[in-house]
Amino acid sequence: MSLAHPAHVPADRVVDIDIYALPGQREDFHRAWKALQDAALPLVWTPRNEGHWIALGGAVLAEVQSDHERFSNRVIVLPKSVGELHRLIPTTIDPPEHRPYRKLLNDGMALARVRRMHDEIRAAAAALIEPVVPLGRCDFTGDFAEILPIRIFLALVDLPLADAPRLRLWASAMTRPDPPIPFEAGRQAFFDYLDPIIAARREAPGDDLLSRMITADMGGRRLDRDEALSLCTQVLIAGVDTVVNFLGFVMLFLARDPAARAALAGMDFNGVLAATHELFRRFGLVTIGRTVRADMAFHGCTLKAGEMVCVPTQVHGLDETVNPDPLRVDFARRGARHSAFGSGPHMCPGQELARAEVAITIQEWLRRIPDFRLAPDADPGCSGGIVGQVNRVILEWDR
């Protein structure tokens, strides 16, 4: 059956793929993307989700993601009509306007600041793990992964722990393809919640990320109210669902791989932190896009202004022309390349924080529960979305 496609798209580039519902995705999100990458050309076009390109080859993907002069961040969520609604600072702004906002984030989440948060992250992780150790079983997703990242976000912006449940609800509304409440309702609820907090912090700033962003000098002016709301919302939605699901993929892998558990258990903290690079290469999970700025020839195709190119960051590190034997997790691998945190001007400013959350979780978990397995009633099925998701990782161990 031939699929409908625009005249400028060559027939051999057309695939019938819904990026949010790949064949085989439920069984294994990453292998499903890898199978598509192996079967198709490095740049393909699908009629699904309003019709768009997909960059599947590692080198093509990295080029699209980092070249803001040819590929704009104006719309990055697919399908495009939905992405048009997701206007947030700094994600949907291109350089040079993007730079001053980005500086605020870089300053606020710099490595030195993240290091100062290590003890707090460790205490939060330990407090969640300790109570489940004697039980011999836990729902890792509900008891740990869905709780830690929101607590760390609350600590970063100095908001009360008691607000975690509603912030989680609003964050889900803004990130999940099947949200518990509509996107606009989640965003508005978060704006209404933050507005008085921002006003109060302008009067009496603290040392938290929010206070630092709203009081910083932006070349002779300060962030206005709408900018502050948008920037803070972006940090919430970028920093919660990503870590929740990444932790899920990592624990699912560790539950099935005793040698990897033993290797990580034998490392000091810096070793575990270094090992997270390999885990991010293997288990990247963010699927976003870029908007073509002007008609152009690109890797044997003609791209038209306004078209969307999907950037499934998880496939870059899985390309064997980029990393040999890419499905194997090898903590001794050196010089691996991947795009789990993106590349170019929008590369994740929260990556040091994310690595710290993951490394500390692994260390604190393995210290108390060195051996564990997937429970028979676990539902490790995966689903797609802007962030790939693993449903429910239920773990068991001998008491």
Provide the mask over 153-192, with x wherever binding to ligand HEM is found by CB under 6 A and - wherever it is not. Answer: x---------------------------------------
272 binds ligand HEM (CB under 6 A): no
Opening angle at CA 139, ends 133 and 141, nearest 5: 120
- Asked whether position 239 contacts ligand HEM by CB under 6 A, the answer is yes
Alpha helices, H only, 257-325? 258-265, 269-282
Task: Write down the least CB distance from residue 223 to ligand HEM, Å.
Answer: 14
- As measured in angstroms, the least distance from the Cβ of 250 to ligand HEM is 9
| Residue showing tokens 């999940």 | 176
Task: List all residues 6 or more positions away from 190 whose beta carbon is below 8 Å from its beta carbon.
Answer: 167, 170, 171, 174, 233, 236
Closer Cβ to ligand HEM, 214 or 243, answer by number: 243
Question: CB-wise, 156 or 260, nearer to ligand HEM?
Answer: 156
Q: Residue 273 has which token pair?
A: 């932190």
Are the C-beta atoms of residues 53 and 43 closer than 8 Å to each other?
yes
Size of the site for ligand HEM (CB under 6 A): 28
Residue 239 has φ and ψ, to the nearest 5°, of -105, 0
User: What residues between 103 and 142 interact with ligand HEM by CB under 6 A?
Assistant: 105
73 contributes a contact to ligand HEM by CB under 6 A: yes
Residue 78 binds to ligand HEM (criterion: CB under 6 A) = no
Q: What H or E segment, with its residue span, contains residue 338? A: none
Write down the least CB distance from residue 387 to ligand HEM, Å: 8
330 Rama class: left (phi>0) / alpha (psi -120 to 50) / beta? beta
Which one, 13 or 201, has the nearer CB to ligand HEM? 201
Does the footprint of ligand HEM cover residue 323 (CB under 6 A)?
no
Backbone dihedral angles phi then psi of residue 73, each to the nearest 5 degrees: -90, 10
Q: How far is CA 6 from the centre of its chain?
A: 32
Binding test (CB under 6 A) with ligand HEM, winner from 77, 243, 292, 329:
243
E strand or H helix at 353: helix 351-368
Among 57, 58, 83, 90, which residue interacts with ligand HEM (rule: CB under 6 A)?
Answer: 90
The whole-angstrom separation of Cα 391 and Cα 184 is 24
For 139, phi and psi rounded to 5 degrees? -90, 95
Shortest separation between residue 53's beta carbon and ligand HEM, angstroms: 16
Contacts with ligand HEM in 338-357 (CB under 6 A)? 340-342, 346, 348-350, 353-354
Token readout for 346 is 């929008």
Comparing every residue's Cβ against ligand HEM, the nearest one is 350
Which residue spans within the chain are E strands per DSSP? 43-46, 52-55, 71-72, 137-139, 287-292, 296-298, 301-303, 308-312, 373-374, 379-383, 389-392, 394-396
**Binding string, residues 281-300; x marks residues near ligand HEM by CB under 6 A:** ----xx-x------------
Residue 267 token pair? 């490392």
Instruction: Tell me which residues in 218-237 interact with ligand HEM (CB under 6 A).
Output: 234-235
Neighbour tally for 34: CB within 10 Å:
20
According to CB under 6 A, which one of 46, 49, 72, 91 is a site residue for ligand HEM?
Answer: 91
Q: Which residues bind ligand HEM (CB under 6 A)?
A: 65, 73, 76, 90-91, 102, 105, 153, 234-235, 238-239, 242-243, 246, 285-286, 288, 313, 340-342, 346, 348-350, 353-354
